[in-house]
């Protein structure tokens, strides 16, 4: 369902998506999640319930789609002047945002759809894109890049494991240790790394 | 809710839990997940809906509790005669089970409860226990153990990241590579390691 929703991005279809997403966001501010229903959302968005069922399938898939849109990064990762610095800053911010109550609610919504929902992989592709920006930034400056896949295995995955499965969220020190073990040259003081 | 359910394990309370869990399992074999309701489960289990609401709070929390019980390991990890061999066998089986359709459905159910649900941490504690068995088995034999926390960061977390966020499930080769990079001495051929 979401795949379809993402392909048809223009005109009437885009307006329906925007209006349904806005209705969900407004209603979530007024009601508890268990009170939310598709007829209620349709009424607020000014569409018929069948429009929502046709496009999203069910409430879980719609909430997952809204969460994906909220997780879409609004800007490039902070530019600290070095790859280790960028990766450390990105990881700490990622851990912080994803372990917040809104972050954990978005993760829950992303997993609440069907087991073949595309929502988790959209979420993961945002991470790939952000890390890709840091990598290209380094290469464009003639600095060594880093192994994005290895970084995901060694830093992103354990941060999310702690958030999803453990009661203790990942601390800033924990993030720093993961980055430092995963990225060569991270032991150098970040501030001393100058940009050519 | 689940915390409470797990504490009261004896007598009437245990019988109610067993009967409600059995009702969920039977109904899931007959109906689609979206057709499942608490009144239907209560009727099948021979309890009142309010018994279920009082004990589990809502349907998502009940389904998560059923998933946790299914994820509880039924036996100790396979004993291959060496720590690297045990960890490789455990990881491959873990990846295989969790990436199956029933595995991914259980993961979804575990995350579908409230954001402060204990279900994900029960799931994670089963992993800790299984890895602890492998570690103690080695130490009891006078062999070196391994760092369970590091193994979770380096092997368990990336396996689950692939299952949860990526469309490509973790392959056996991928699991072997993770274990081999995480566990010292894994480069030795597993079959050559004899047990004292």
Contact B167 A101 (CB under 8 A): no
Contact check, Cβ <8 Å, A108/B112: yes
- B106: in domain: yes
Interval A138-153 mean pLDDT: 93
Higher pLDDT, residue B97 or A3: B97
Residue B104's domain comprises 83-183
Across all residues in chain A, what is the average pLDDT?
86
CA-nearest of B47, B43, B46, B98 to B70 is B98
User: Do B53 and B106 fall into the same domain?
Assistant: no
CA distances (Å), origin A149, targets A155, A162, B52: 10, 19, 44
Residues B120 and B43 in one domain: no
Of A111, A152, A164, the CB nearest to B108: A111
Q: Are residues B52 and B97 in the same domain?
A: no
Task: Identify whether residues B46 and B100 lie together within a single domain.
Answer: no
Of A101, A153, A161, the CB nearest to B115: A101
**A157 and B161 in contact by Cβ < 8 A?**
yes
CA distances from B59 to A101, A102, B21, B50 (A): 21, 22, 12, 12
- Asked if residue B164 is part of any domain, the answer here is yes
B20 in a structural domain: yes
**Distances, alpha carbon A74 to alpha carbons A70, A102, B54, in Å:** 9, 16, 42
What CATH number has the domain bearing residue B18? 1.10.10.60
Same domain, B29 and B89: no
From the list B115, B165, B167, which residue is nearest A105 (CB)?
Answer: B115
The pLDDT of residue A146 is above 80: yes
Q: What pLDDT is recorded for position B71?
A: 85
Measure Cα distances from B173 to B91, B169, B192 in Å. Answer: 11, 11, 20
Q: Is the pLDDT of residue A184 over 80?
A: no
- Considering A95-99, A100-104, B115-119, the range whose residues carry the highest mean pLDDT is A95-99
- Reported as a single tens digit per residue, the pLDDT across B20-33 is 999 999 998 899 88
Lowest pLDDT segment from A19-23, A127-131, B4-8, B102-106: B4-8
Question: Nearest-CA residue of chain A relative to B34?
Answer: A58
User: Within a domain: residue A74?
Assistant: no
- B157 with A157: Cβ contact below 8 A: yes
The larger pLDDT score, comparing residue B89 to residue B111, is at B89
Q: Which residues of B touch A161 (CB under 8 A)?
A: 124, 152-153, 156-157, 160-161
Confidence of residue A193 (pLDDT cuts 50, 70, 90): very low
Q: What proportion of chain B, given as a percentage, has pLDDT over 90?
A: 59
| Cα-based distances in Å from B193 to B180, B190, B196 | 15, 6, 9
Which pLDDT does position B185 carry in this prediction? Answer: 67
Chain B residues close to A58, C-beta within 8 Å: 34
Q: What is the 3-state secondary structure (H, E, C) of A46-89?
A: CCCHHHHHHHHCCHHHHHHHHHHHHHCCCCCCCCCCCHHHHHHH
- Is B49 found in the same domain as B89? no
CATH number at residue B169: 1.10.357.10
Check pLDDT > 60 for residue A194: no
On whether residue B73 sits in a domain, the answer given is: no
Number of domains in chain A: 2
Show residues of chain B in contact with A34, CB under 8 Å: 58
pLDDT in tens, A10-54: 678 888 999 999 999 999 889 988 889 999 999 999 999 999 999
Say which of B115, B164, B165 has its CB closest to residue A104. Answer: B115
Q: Which residue of chain A is at minimal alpha-carbon distance from B112?
A: A112
Distance CA B95, CA A52 (A): 35
A163 lies in the same domain as A111: yes
Per-residue confidence (pLDDT) for residue B194, from 0 to 100: 40
Same domain, A119 and A177: yes
- Among A21, A39, A57, the domain boundary falls at A57
Q: What is the mean pLDDT of residues B157-170?
A: 92
Mutate which of A161, A168, A176, A181 to test chain B, going by most B C-beta atoms within 10 A?
A161
For tokens 């800790």, the residue is B128
Q: Is B156 in Cβ contact with A153 (below 8 Å)?
A: no
pLDDT (average), residues B79-89: 94
**Boundary of a domain, candidates B13, B42, B57:** B57
In this complex, how many residue pairs, one in chain A and one in chain B, have their CB atoms less than 8 Å apart? 76
Q: Do B154 and B95 have their domain in common? A: yes
Does residue B32 sit in the same domain as residue B118? Answer: no
Is A127 among the domain residues? yes
- The answer to whether residue B33 is domain-embedded is yes
Contact check, Cβ <8 Å, A158/B157: yes
ipTM: 0.82
Same domain membership, residue A182 and residue A116: yes
Within a domain: A76 = no
Q: Is pLDDT above 50 for A81? A: yes
Q: Which chain A residues have a beta carbon less than 8 Å from that of B166? A: 120-121, 124
* Helix residue ranges per DSSP H, B46-82: 49-56, 59-71
Predicted local distance difference test score (pLDDT) of residue B154:
97
CB-closest option in A121, A161, A166 to B166:
A121
Contacting residues of A for B165, CB less than 8 Å apart: 120-121, 123-124, 160
Looking at the fold, whether B51 and B107 belong to one and the same domain comes out as no
pLDDT value of position A191: 43
């Amino acid at each position: 369902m979401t795949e379809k929703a993402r392909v048809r991005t223009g005109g009437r279809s885009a307006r329906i998506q925007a209006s349904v997403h806005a209705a969900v966001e407004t209603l979530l501010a007024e009601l508890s999640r268990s009170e939310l229903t598709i007829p209620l959302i349709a009424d607020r968005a000014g569409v018929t319930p069948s429009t929502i069922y046709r496009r999203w399938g069910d409430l879980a898939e719609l909430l997952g789609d809204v969460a994906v849109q909220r997780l879409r990064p609004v800007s490039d990762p902070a530019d600290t002047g070095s790859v280790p610095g960028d990766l450390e800053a990105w990881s700490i911010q990622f851990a912080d945002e994803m372990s917040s109550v809104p972050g954990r609610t978005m993760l829950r919504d992303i997993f609440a759809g069907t087991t073949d929902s595309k929502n988790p992989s959209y979420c993961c592709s945002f991470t790939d894109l952000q890390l890709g920006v840091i990598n290209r930034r380094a290469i464009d400056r003639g600095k060594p890049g880093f192994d994005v896949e290895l970084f995901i295995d060694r830093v992103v995955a354990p941060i999310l494991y702690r958030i999803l499965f453990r009661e203790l969220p990942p601390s800033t020190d924990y993030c720093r240790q993961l980055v430092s073990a995963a990225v060569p040259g991270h032991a150098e003081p970040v501030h001393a790394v100058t940009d050519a």
